[in-house]
Chain A
Amino acid sequence: MPELQPRHLQRRYDVVVVGGGPAGLAAALGAREQGAEGVLIVDRESEPGGILQQCIHHGFGLHHFKEELTGPAYAERYLGQVLEHDVDILTDAYVLDVDPSRRVGLLSSRHGRTEVDAGAVVLAMGARERTRQAIRIPGTRPAGIMTAGFAQKLVNMAGYLPGRRVAILGSGDIGLIMARRLVLEGAEVVGVFELMPHANGLTRNVVQCLHDFGIPLHLSTTVVHIHGDERIEKVTVAPVDESFTPRMDQAWDVDCDTLLVSIGLIPDNELARTLGVRLDPVTTGPVVTSSMETSRDGVFACGNTVHIHDLVDWVSQESQLAGGAAGGYATGRHRRADNVRLLPGSNVRSCIPHTITTEREHTIFLRVTKSLAPCTLRLGEVYERPLRYVVPGEMVTLKVRPRFLQGFHGGNLRVDVVAREEAAA
C-alpha cells in the first residue's frame, strides 16, 4: 500500500475533502474522475475508512460491488481505487476552518498548524451518535455507559470487552449488531429495551442478532433510572404507555455492569455551522443542490453529514457525485443552477437533494415518517410509481429522469408517499 501521509503538502489543491470515511473516499475519487488535479483528504483517525473499519459484519457493497462485503473489506477496496487515482490522504489531522476564499486551516500531527488553498471543499464528516445526555436519563453518572458505536470500536478494533453483563437501550441496528458481537465475545446481554412499540433496526437484524442468541427484546419499555457509584450496577426499566410515559408501578431492576445506548445518529456539522452553511432543520445537515453544493459557493457536502443513510452504497454514490461536482467547480466547469425545489409532502420526512434541474437525471433519497404498504410515490402531478412498502428505517431512492419533468414548468415539486387506495381514488 502506498504511504498515506504526504511528506509535503501542496500549497493549493483543486479539492480538499474533509473526512476520509466512505463519503470522503468516494468524493475524492469523483473529483479525480472529473478532472481535479490535486485532491487532499483530511481525516482525524490514524487510517482512512471511517466507521467502516469497525463494522466487521456483512451487509456492505451489494449495490456498489455487486457482492456482500464486511465494512473493512468495503473500505479496503474503495481505498485501493482512491490510491490508484493519486490522492493525498492526511491522517491524524483536523480541518479547523475554511475562510471565504476557501483557504483551509489544518492541524496535523505531521505538519502542525498549516494552511492550504482549495478550489473547492467537500464536507464529508459523517455523523455522531446520540448519547445518554441527549435523552436525559435520571440517576447517577457512573462508568460503564457508552454509545453502541463506541463499544463497537472498543470490541472490534481496540480489543477491549466493555463489560460482562450488558443492557442495551434502543434497538437501532448498531445496538442489535453489538448485542450479537458481545455474546460472541463472551459477555452476557441481559436485554434490549426499546421505547417504541416496534424494533428500530431491520427485522433481519432482530432475527440474526437477538433471536439467534435468545436475547430478549422489550418493546415499549425504557430505562428510567441508572444506579451505581464508580461503575454502573443496575438500571431500572419500565414499560411506557401510548404517550411514552413510563408506568412506574410496573418498573423493575436489571443488574448490569454496562449500558449501551443505540438511539440514533445525528449529522456531524460543527464545521458546517462555523462556515455559515444553511442547514435543514429536519435532517440537521446542509441544504444541498443536485450537485451536492451547499449554500456557500464551492463548498459541497455528502454522506451522513448531509442526512443519515442506511446503506453505505448510497453514501458512495452520492459522494462520488458531490466530489465530481467539486472537481468540476474547481476546474471552472460550474454546473447551471437548479430550477426545481423539492418539497417534502405527505408522509415524507426529508428529501435530498433539496433542489434539482429538469435537464439531468437525478437520484432522490427520501425518508418517510410512517410505514405504509402498498403505497404510491408521487412527484407533484407529473410522475408516480407504485411501491411495495415504505418503512421509516429504510431510505427510498427514486431516479428522476428528465422526461418525467418534460411538461413541468413550475418551481416547486411536492413529493408524497400515499397509501395505494388513496392513490387510486
Chain B
Amino acid sequence: MSETSHYLCIGCPLGCRLEVDTQGDEILEVRGNACKRGDTFARQEHVDPRRFVTTTVAIEGAPWPRLPVATAGSVPKHVMREVCEALHGLRLEAPVELGQVVLPDALGTGIDVVATRSMERR
C-alpha cells in the first residue's frame, strides 16, 4: 500500500507542488517537480527537512547593537528555534569579521553559526 505526501518546493520562485509516493521507508516516485532541484528537495524534505537559520546576536562596542548571523549550512528544521535560543545568550565584542564563527557546532548539528557582516569597533 503506497502513500502520497505533499510538499511545496522552495528551490526557486516557481514553488512547484510536489508529490512524494512512498511504500514504507522507500520513496517510489516524486511528481510535480519542474526541474531536478525539485526532486532533490522532495526527497530531502520527506526524510530530513532542513533550513538555513538567519538571526542576530548582541554585540558590544559596534556601531549597531545587533550583528546579523547565519548557519553556515542547513540544520534540521525542528531545531531552528533552539538555535536562536542558544544565540540569545551570546554577547559578542567588536570587531567581528564577515564569516567569523560566533557559535561552533550549534547544538551538536555539526553546523557553525557565522557572522554575515563585519562590524568594526566604534
Contacts and interface: CB of A to CB of B under 8 A. Distances in A.
Interface of A: 1, 46-47, 53, 56-58, 69-73, 75-76, 155-159, 181, 183-185, 202-204, 206-208, 211-212, 388-389, 391, 393-394
B54 A58 contact: yes
Contact of A185 (B11, B55, B80, B118): B55
Nearest to B119: A72
A156 B56 contact: yes
Contacts of A47: 63
B80 to A, nearest CB: 7
Nearest to A49: B117
A202 B9 CA distance: 11
A397 to B, nearest CB: 13
A399 to B, nearest CB: 19
Contacts of B81: 183-184
B32 interface: no
Given A70-B54, A204-B10, A212 B77 contact: yes
B8 interface: yes
Nearest to A54: B68
Contact of A73 (B15, B55, B80, B98): B98
B94 interface: no
Contact of A207 (B10, B52, B116, B120): B10
Contacts of A185: 55, 84
A244 to B, nearest CB: 24
B54 A56 contact: yes
Contacts of A208: 10, 51
Given A56-B68, A70-B70, 17 more contacts: A56-B55, A56-B70, A58-B54, A70-B54, A70-B68, A71-B68, A73-B116, A158-B64, A158-B66, A159-B58, A159-B65, A183-B81, A204-B11, A207-B15, A208-B10, A208-B51, A211-B8
A347 B107 CA distance: 50
Contacts of A70: 54, 68, 70, 116-117
Interface residues of B, number: 31
Contact of B56 (A46, A56, A204): A56
B89 interface: no
3 pairs of A and B residues whose beta carbons are closest in the complex: A203-B15, A72-B117, A56-B68
Interface string B96-109: 00100000000000
Looking at B51, B56, B81, B118, which has the most chain A CB atoms within 10 Å of its CB? Answer: B56
A72 B34 contact: no
Nearest to B35: A388
Contacts of B51: 208, 212
B13 interface: yes
B14 interface: yes
Contacts of B117: 53, 70, 72-73, 75-76
A47 B11 CA distance: 32
A157 B58 CA distance: 10
A389 to B, nearest CB: 7
Nearest to B52: A58
Given A76-B98, A184-B81, A388-B34, A203 B65 contact: no
Contact of B13 (A58, A69, A158, A204): A204
Contact of A184 (B8, B52, B84): B84
Contacts of B9: 203-204
B13 A203 contact: yes
B52 A156 contact: no
A202 B56 CA distance: 24
B12 interface: yes
24 contacts: A56-B56, A56-B70, A70-B68, A72-B116, A73-B116, A73-B117, A76-B117, A156-B56, A156-B66, A158-B64, A158-B66, A159-B58, A159-B66, A185-B55, A185-B84, A203-B10, A204-B8, A204-B10, A204-B15, A206-B8, A211-B8, A388-B14, A388-B34, A393-B13
A1 B120 contact: yes
Interface in B70-102: 70, 77, 80-81, 84, 98
B10 A58 contact: no
B60 to A, nearest CB: 11
Contacts of B70: 56, 58, 70
Contacts of B55: 56, 181, 184-185
B117 to A, nearest CB: 4
Given A159-B58, A159-B66, A56 B116 contact: yes
A72 B15 contact: no
A182 to B, nearest CB: 11
